[in-house]
Structure 1
Amino acid sequence: MTITLHKGDLPDGLTFGDCVAVDTETMGLNPHRDPLCLVQLSAGDGNAHLVQLDRATYDAPNLRALMGDKNVLKLFHFARFDVAMMQRYLDVVTTPVYCTKIASKLVRTYTDRHGLKDLARELVGIDMSKQQQSSDWGNETLTEAQLAYAASDVLHLHAMKDVLDAMLAREGRTEMAKACFAFLPVRAALDLAGWPEEDIFAH
């Protein structure tokens, strides 16, 4: 495994095939208050590329182009939050997307444990450490422990997707999952526009 840290943006010419695993690190969970600091990516090849954003400008044209590339599937865990952060700070609608958390909720109905750590353990036999989850991602110099933690969040998503895809097909819920994934950019826009909790489909 290699972890490559890029300052400001992805380098020119770097590609991730037709499916890239993506995650973000922020200063908190409020997209209007807490800045986007780091974006992690992996092609599923065991390597991770981490982009430490320039929070003064968020000028990252290569990263922005990748997130908006309709020919590349962006693979997230809890895409709703990450997609909202991309909209808020990079001004890009991330599409198309796949969310392992949504897929898990559609097929792993035998449990209420749908966190990334739970999926990694059950689906691919990986015991992930979440020790650095609440660390300071705004530091200009990130620690080796932070970099390793950030990378781990994207290194196993492709393998999890493979298992979840098989489960979705088995349970006849593939098309339902695709419809949920397609709605995610709109769900993120609703969050940013002031409807984070209200169910607009309710009576």
Structure 2
Amino acid sequence: MSQTQFAAGATIHIHRHDLPDGITFGAMVAIDTETMGLDPRRDRLCLVQLSAGDGTAHLVQIIPPAMGGRGADCPNLKALLTNPDVIKIFHFARFDVAALYNGLGVMTAPVICTKIASKLIRTYTDRHGLKDLCRDLIGVDLSKQQQTSDWGAPELTAEQCAYAASDVLHLHALWAKLDALLVRENRRDIAQACYDFLPMRGRLDLLGYEDPDLFSHR
């Protein structure tokens, strides 16, 4: 079942359980997730947002069988997440990759992360949140009002859908700006090495190696 909403010039398609057959996103798709909390080991995956950067967002509700859903039975979404020919853009991919792996049982790859890119190249600031990047680099002011709402509700509000869509609608434009800066400052190869490691970083987090971090001295 799908429904369509319109918000601030964007088209938002809401799908229950899986992406419909036949949807394509091109060579690069922006992805984000919403969960019941900030621990991907504990808090269930509720929503996966996707956009081709064309002003359209697709929101896939992951509903557990106990609530009448199909849980991880979403073959079209899984096929996209694991397609080696489609690059997935995230902001803070470390969390999303872990949440997707824990919730759906598939490892998302290949990935790039705008938060990592920003930390590598925008060393003149400590502001690397999505809201900060969108404002500073592409002149878009994102609202974070729905960030802590109940994403596990069977029916999402129009405000929740608009918020969720906004997290993916601008990632293509944001990545273009950041990628150009990485190239300019000769740090793209370092960034790529970080992106390549992200799937394993997500698995380490799920195994409990976030604290203590394997890469810390202690």
TM interval, short-chain normalised = over 0.9
Please list, as runs of the form range in 1=range in 2, the aligned pairs for 1:4-153 lying within 5 A after superposition.
4-56=13-65, 57-153=71-167
Q: How many angstroms apart in 2 are the aligned matches of 1:127 and 1:117? A: 7
Q: Are the counterparts in 2 of residues 35 and 55 from structure 1 also a CA contact under 8 Å?
A: no
2:26 partner SS = coil
Q: 1:11 to 1:202 in 2, by over 3 A?
A: same
Deviations 1:29-51 (A, max 9, x none): 11122110000000000100000
The residue aligned with 2:168 is: 154
Q: How many angstroms apart in 1 are the aligned matches of 2:216 and 2:124? A: 26
Q: Are the counterparts in 2 of residues 68 and 93 from structure 1 also a CA contact under 8 Å?
A: yes
Q: How many angstroms apart in 1 are the aligned matches of 2:159 and 2:212? A: 37
Unaligned runs of 5+ in 2: 1-9, 66-70
Shift of 1:130: 0.1
Shift of 1:201: 3.0
Shift of 1:139: 0.6
- State the one-letter code of the partner of 2:25: F
Deviations 1:136-174 (A, max 9, x none): 001101000000000000000000000000100111100
**Superposition TM-score, scaled by structure 1 size:** 0.98
**Superposition TM-score, scaled by structure 2 size:** 0.91
Shift of 1:28: 0.1
Q: How many angstroms apart in 2 are the aligned matches of 1:22 and 1:59? A: 19
Number of residue pairs matched? Answer: 203
The residue aligned with 2:183 is: 169
Q: How many angstroms apart in 1 are the aligned matches of 2:35 and 2:115? A: 19
Q: Are the counterparts in 2 of residues 84 and 188 from structure 1 also a CA contact under 8 Å?
A: yes
- State the one-letter code of the partner of 1:85: A
Deviations 1:31-74 (A, max 9, x none): 12211000000000010000011222221111011000000000
Q: How many angstroms apart in 2 are the aligned matches of 1:127 and 1:187? A: 30
Deviations 1:7-36 (A, max 9, x none): 100001100000000000010011122110
Q: Are the counterparts in 2 of residues 83 and 188 from structure 1 also a CA contact under 8 Å?
A: yes
Shift of 1:197: 2.6
* CA RMSD across the alignment: 0.8
Unaligned runs of 5+ in 1: none
Q: Are the counterparts in 2 of residues 73 and 97 from structure 1 also a CA contact under 8 Å?
A: yes
Q: Are the counterparts in 1 of residues 72 and 105 from structure 2 also a CA contact under 8 Å?
A: no
